[in-house]
Structure 1
Amino acid sequence: MHIYKVTGTVTLNRAHPTYQGAVLKLAEPIGESLVGGVANEPDSIVVWDELGADVGSIIAVADGGEAAQPFRPKLKPVDAYNSAILDGINIKPHLLKD
């Protein structure tokens, strides 16, 4: 699970049949910047969104094999899934690993 910020929406001209009705968002990672680190050039990803995240929303993203789990037993070619819209983030610096 990683923390991302929604930066846009994605519109498909053609799509895999299992993507009918899909809502896709463009998001970039912000995890390092939350703990005072300097983020590298962000790699944006396309995220399947069933929760209704808007541009600017902070979201928790499941990726890889876990991203397809909400659709079981159906098979969908999903690599990133919005699993939560975060209202706030509380970070305790003394618990962070160096």
Structure 2
Amino acid sequence: MGHGHGEPFKIPHHSIYNNYKGFPELANHERRLAQVGLKDPWIRNYVYLYDKEYPHVRGQWAHFKRLIMPGWKLGVGAAVALIAVEELYSFAKTGQTSWDAHH
């Protein structure tokens, strides 16, 4: 489906998620399970939930800023330009703008 352009998608090796003991939440989870005699063989599958490399872990505000900030200046500039053009057109056509009082 990629038509041979660029490099194909690489599936990461499962061993990169064996670092779950480096995350306090997962290490505590493993310790609590061990206290009752249980073991979670799939604990490494939860590494992505606590890894700060992923945007959803950084916090909602940081994720929101990362989504909004790149286009913020362009968006505000486009909005101001559109309002100015609309008001100038309205003034040229009717002799008043939407900012004038309509009482």
TM-score computed with the length of structure 1 as normaliser:
0.23
- Whichever structure has more helix as a proportion of its residues is 2
Greater C-alpha Rg? 2
For CA contacts below 8 A with separation 6 or more, give which structure has more relative contact order.
Answer: 1
- Whichever structure has more strand as a proportion of its residues is 1
TM-score computed with the length of structure 2 as normaliser:
0.23
